[in-house]
Chain A
Amino acid sequence: MTTKAMTEVKTNKLTLVQAVTDGMRTMLSEHDDILVLGEDVGQNGGVFRATEGLVHEFGEDRIIDTPLAEAGIIGTSIGLAINGFRPIAEMQFLGFVYPAYEQIMTHASRIRSRTMSKFSVPMVIRAPYGGGIRAPEIHSDSVEALFTHMPGIKVVVPSNPYDAKGLLIAAIEDPDPVLFMEPMRSYRAFKSDVPEGKYTVEIGKAATLAEGDDVTVIAWGNMVSVAQKAVEEMTKQGVSCELLDLRTLYPLDRETIVASVKKTGRVVICHEAPETGGVGNDVMALINDEAFLYLRAPMSKVAGFDTPFPFFALEEEYLPTPSRVSHAIKEAVTF
């Protein structure tokens, strides 16, 4: 559920990346215990300008250019978090999170468990991710499943400016670690209304972007716009499509997913991460557990392949397209 923007609240037309900045600025100005750490986040304002201007407003003590070391950024953030601060740590790209994986896996995500809640890590890890912008190799990895598989960390992915700000603020307020994935291809793709000031989009809640009876199409992040195009096309062809933007990948929004599938009986999941071990499998497992008898066709996935994300000359072949999603929808409704 979304905190309703009050009618008198002013809104601004922002891009997704501007909404991220706005979310950080809103929280930084209200709470001194929030810090921003990362490579090039200060003077440079981040390589995508996500922290643009923050160092001038909040100073170098709070907007911290760190040495080039992801394990250092996350490890230090853990130390800050267990001792009274709420760090927002930036990984310059999700594809460079790997040196920090140990810190996240063996500490950030399990300190609460290990100490029976004596220590906790209220940290947000922000990371741009995903393909489609002709980036050099490694920069386009979409490895959400490495984190949904990790007990003790929540994973959220906005697909639009409004959700980006609201989810980011919810993530900052969350008492536990949250990976906040930022879909690079959607950073400046469009602007939409973003309320000024504080509001939240609840973690764990999907958004229903289109209502329909024949098939449930499920996507997140960059793939929402891809799925949307497919849904528009198939709607024209007379297929009544429901479109869910998951927004949170762990924990999944069981209620919304299950209710939708009980209504439509057909499921197409779209993600850009490799198919094997992808979050699509968890969605399918949930449906299998809770709505199996409602299914009228096999569930299907339109996903990246079990290959490393290709060099950009081939990225359009790798990334799911509206036509691949449409194809899967057709197969589902004609089964």
Chain B
Amino acid sequence: MTEMENQFPIVQVMDGDGHIVDASYHLTESFIKEMYSKMLRARTLDKKSVNLQRQGRIGTYAPFEGQEAAQVGSASALEEGDWMFPTYRDHAATLTFGHSVSTIMLYWKGRVEGCVPPEGKNIFPPAVPIATQLPHATGAALAEKRKGTDRVAIAYFGDGATSEGDFHEGLNFASVFKAPVVFFNQNNGYAISVPIEKQMNSKTIAQKGLAYDMDAIRVDGNDVLAVYFETQKAIEKARNGEGPTLIEAVTWRYGAHTTADDPSKYRNQELSLEKRDKIDPLLRLERYMKKQGFWDDAWKDQVAKECDLEIEQAVEEMENFPEPDVNDLFDHVFKEPTWTIKKQKEAYLSQKRGETV
């Protein structure tokens, strides 16, 4: 191991076989089952979305299968009123934090409505331009600090994102202003086709916190318990006015970068099969539960059935959603449309009416 890997060891609570390696947490059956159910719900959404894309019922989709523990564990540590700044791959996080399933799907159906969070949920639209959301999280967190609340912000981003300037600016600002923000990195080893060894010479992402004198920690991103507890600590610290934290969750995406990508071009997919068996976030909880004697096939089937039902209902909702309204194209650019937009809208709509007569 290199010096940095020694300095930032991968924190685990439970290993891939479902053994507890850190016994300092009190783990209840209901908590374990809750985490399992949340992850299964997310996985069900993900698999369904990939299928919908294949059937042409939604557009290009970015799957997250394999990253459920990182997203569900971290999002579960947030409280109502906190802020979430996700990317295009973080639907398990937004779902867990209270986004609606059908809205998440609408986003991939090319509907702008997919960006609008449910009432009372501070969920920013997914960041498509890489790393742009980090400074936003810093700013939103700073706003909470200035308002005197104890709310925090969390920003999600990938390993590739740490190469962009916005990553460094977001971290530096947060550090300088002691903003109550958690930078939650999912290091899934790839930025599309580029493996992390080509992305950076840094041996860890956590070490990038050193440059900004920021607390940083590296966790097993497939261990929902480690992710949950470490995120919770970082959030508590932020709430107490002790500033930002960088969390590196080491994980793996099983599938393609998006449904438009072919991973066999750049990596051996056998590796994903191996990871599914060795480090899968759901499988390790199942193994743990079996050891503890509270796994029950009937319970699992029941949870799976509920997830299927919920997701199927959401698909129906998505597909029965009102047709897109062309007025929306023009009406939300400014609070008050400019004369240019009004003129363009009128000209277009009247021409359109004329054509269809």
Contact = CB atoms under 8 A, between A and B. Distances in A.
Interface stretch (A5-13, A36-44, A199-207): A36-44
B52 to A, nearest CB: 14
B266 A44 contact: yes
Contact of B340 (A45, A306, A317, A323): A306
A40 B329 contact: no
A43 to B, nearest CB: 5
Contact of A65 (B112, B114, B194, B338): B194
A136 B58 CA distance: 11
Interface in B304-357: 324, 326, 328-330, 333, 338, 340-341, 344-345, 348, 351, 355
Contacts of A69: 163-165
B344 A68 contact: no
A305 B329 CA distance: 9
Nearest to A318: B329
Nearest to B351: A327
Given A68-B194, A306-B340, A317 B326 contact: yes
Name the interface size band of chain B: 35 or more
A1 B328 CA distance: 45
Contacts of A65: 193-194, 198
B265 A68 contact: no
A317 B344 CA distance: 12
A45 B328 contact: no
Nearest to A49: B265
Contact of A43 (B160, B191, B265, B326): B265
B193 A314 contact: no
A315 to B, nearest CB: 8
Helix, strand, loop or mixed for chain A's interface?
loop
A60 to B, nearest CB: 9
A285 interface: no
B192 A99 contact: no
A136 B194 contact: no
A137 B261 contact: no
Interface string B10-22: 0000000000000
Given A68-B163, A136-B59, A313 B110 contact: yes
Residue among A67, A72, A313, A317 having the largest count of chain B Cβ atoms under 10 Å:
A313
Contact of A39 (B60, B192, B330, B344): B192
B275 to A, nearest CB: 20
A306 B333 contact: yes
A307 B163 contact: no
A138 interface: yes
A275 B339 CA distance: 13
Contact of A67 (B199, B260, B345): B199
A275 B199 CA distance: 39
Interface string A65-80: 1011111100000000
Interface in A278-335: 305-308, 310-315, 317-318, 323-324, 327
A276 interface: yes
